[in-house]
A and B are shown apart, each in its own frame.
Chain A
């Protein structure tokens, strides 16, 4: 259970507040106009940005002061999710131990994770030798090995074509279901939210609203969402 307790983030003249709880195992989309603070919210949860006030809790434990790598979460960024100078297997292996001192058992686990995402036998390649979709799969394999209960996604598949993106979201849903992970995913595509997320957080006008049922939200959008969606709604 992720709790944002009277969270407030202030940067110059930008301000964002959030005060809500996301239940365990939920899959939530974060949508809203660009510049509203979707990524900022994620960066605060991930620990790259210290909130001005308020607390972030996981299962009732305060994690606000914990460094990013030690938080009970994994995050995928828009780009640069793999180190280009390391092989795919090394990149995935970082999910087991950040110092990469892996035993042969660990390497077998790495290969297993690669097979699981459809990259069996490709561990020796460098990221540049992989397609965009394959790079996304490699990053997901690392998420699998990190096995953290919370997964944050900052539009990692936005650069992929529609078919490939749907495929990646399918794989993601499968992995999340298998590991029971709680997912918070930023997207600018309402279709992603409807297909993938049972809950949706709307970020607009300086407020990240509490998560509500995605279907219900789109059935009767509040004014801020209606403005964002335009005539589509």
Chain B
């Protein structure tokens, strides 16, 4: 029914993904000079698993009361607060780290308060700093998944429960607890998976043999020790770890819309008394934890905006180009895979999910090892970053587009077929207009992720290919905190602007 070109494109995309993820894993494994893990390697694996586990547990446990309070209470700014919960997904990791440093750092308000009370100062570096940053970044994600879970409980159930005279306790046991048990493990595994590949947080808040993730160890082995054999071994270990957790995650998580509306009337009863007080406290603390670092960043960054080194603007330009090109590539590839899946090719969906098992530095190391014999890898830093960023955002795009594409096929596939609407005409007249909204949203998400990415670029960058996140990290590393804060503001503004621009573009083209 379809013309020959589209499955061909999808096939080529799938092959490229397989080459980038499985191919990189193979190349790195082959280049491992020894399969003997050193004590430091084991320490990195242990630290990675421990910090991911703690981050996943903390994020999920804290998300339960926060999500519950958000679902059942009405308060001023609730809509905005719900929308802000999607923001950390777009927040560049390095910016989040700087924001946390502004609050929990040596000269931040938390330590100032401790000093007034005569208590010892708190250090944000090491295991608890890494976990703190990961909770800050992932609590909103876990919270959103649970909010969706609560909203999926039919209002009729609560009405039935109330008509049977159930109080808040029994209602929790019979209606809310089963939902939590169904949703929370998936949320925890997803957070665990995201923390496994953490690089920027470990680079800035961890470090040293005691607090290094595998991802960071790969980077150090390649960039500082120049030991490709050891980097290869670590990359192979990292791939095995991620692939295993991805398999578990795919079993435990359900299709999660990132853009579902949250405004409809809430079915969850809102009991008063001490429960209201607890909810208010939870909401207050949650907002304080999630929003105060951003406010502090704004406070510290604005004064430095005027005196930003010119290199920052050059880096910003580079980052914008990288973000836009990789986002457009990723959406085109995602669309090709999704259309192939909808017309029956199951492998297309698997190919789209495969990058979840590969981390940025695993693919980066693979490309580094393959490209090195051909000359200076610095020259290829930006193209490689584009390619890796596009690949890593594919799983999100595929999960976003697939349900919508299925709906379009179910509603209009036959009509289009009967009119001979195939190939490019079908793409132009049916698929693009009907998928404009999720495509715009997904492209925006992908662009923001790419804009803020600090991973593979750190591995490849020379002096002439520094991107904005790398610039922020280097300024902070040199303790030029005012310039770092200002550059971070520029970065976060550009990330949000990219997301907003693509999202608007999609919404404008999606009428009727």
Binding site for B on A (CB under 8 A): 46-48, 67-70, 74-75, 77, 80-81, 83-86, 94-95, 98-100, 126-128, 142, 146
Contact = CB atoms under 8 A, between A and B. Distances in A.
B419 A98 contact: yes
Nearest to B424: A99
The DSSP consensus for interface residues of chain B is helix
A77 B414 CA distance: 9
A95 B419 contact: yes
**Size band of the B side of the interface?**
20 to 34
Given A68-B1, A83-B430, A77 B415 contact: yes
Given A77-B415, A85-B512, A98 B422 contact: yes
A98 B512 contact: no
B414 A48 contact: yes
A94 B421 contact: yes
B1 to A, nearest CB: 5
B418 A98 contact: no
Given A85-B512, A99-B424, A69 B430 contact: no
Interface of B: 1, 411-412, 414-415, 417-422, 424-425, 428-430, 433-434, 510-512
A67 B1 contact: yes
Given A83-B429, A83-B430, A85-B511, A69 B419 contact: yes
Contacts of A75: 418
Contacts of B430: 83
Contacts of B434: 85
A228 B434 CA distance: 41
A58 B434 CA distance: 35
A203 B100 CA distance: 72
Contact of B420 (A48, A81, A85, A98): A98
Contact of A83 (B412, B422, B425): B412
Contacts of A67: 1, 417, 420, 422
17 contacts: A46-B418, A67-B417, A67-B422, A68-B420, A69-B420, A74-B418, A80-B411, A80-B415, A84-B512, A85-B510, A86-B433, A94-B421, A98-B422, A99-B428, A126-B512, A128-B512, A146-B419
B209 to A, nearest CB: 58
A68 to B, nearest CB: 4
Given A99-B425, A128-B512, 10 more contacts: A48-B417, A69-B421, A77-B414, A77-B415, A83-B430, A84-B512, A85-B434, A85-B512, A99-B424, A99-B428
Contacts of B420: 67-70, 98
Contacts of A83: 412, 415, 429-430
A77 B411 CA distance: 11
In the A-B complex, the 6 residue pairs with the closest CB atoms: A69-B420, A99-B425, A85-B433, A68-B417, A98-B420, A84-B512
Contacts of B417: 47-48, 67-69
Contacts of B424: 99
B52 to A, nearest CB: 44
Contact of A86 (B1, B422, B429): B429
Contacts of A94: 419, 421, 429
Nearest to B430: A83
B425 A100 contact: yes
A69 B512 contact: no
Give the one of A46, A69, A75 with max B CB within 10 A. A69
A128 B511 CA distance: 11
Contacts of B425: 98-100
Contacts of A85: 433-434, 510-512
A146 B421 CA distance: 13
Contact of B415 (A81, A99, A100, A126): A81
Contacts of A100: 425, 429
Contacts of B511: 85, 126
A68 B411 contact: no
